[in-house]
Amino acid sequence: MKSKLASLFAEIPQTLPEELCQTLFQSSTVRIERILSQGQHSAENTWYDQEQTEWVLLLQGKARLSFIDAEPVELNPGDYLLLPAHCKHRVDSTASDQISIWLAVHVYDPES
Whichever domain contains 58, its CATH number is 2.60.120.10
Calpha distance 44→40 (Å, rounded): 12
What does the DSSP assignment read for 24-39?
Answer: EEE-SSEEEEEEEESS
Asked whether the predicted pLDDT for residue 2 surpasses 90, the reply is: no
Quote the number of domains for the chain.
1
Asked whether the predicted pLDDT for residue 112 surpasses 80, the reply is: no
Domain hosting residue 96, numbered range:
29-44+52-107
Calpha distance 110→29 (Å, rounded): 6
In this prediction the pTM is: 0.90
80 within domain boundaries: yes
12 within domain boundaries: no
10 within domain boundaries: no
pLDDT for res 84: 95
Count the helix, strand and coil residues of the chain and give each as a percent rounded to the nearest 5.
Answer: 0, 45, 55
Across the chain, what does the average pLDDT equal?
Answer: 94
Calpha distance 105→55 (Å, rounded): 5
Tens digit of each residue's pLDDT (9 = 90 or more) over 47-68:
999 999 999 999 999 999 999 9
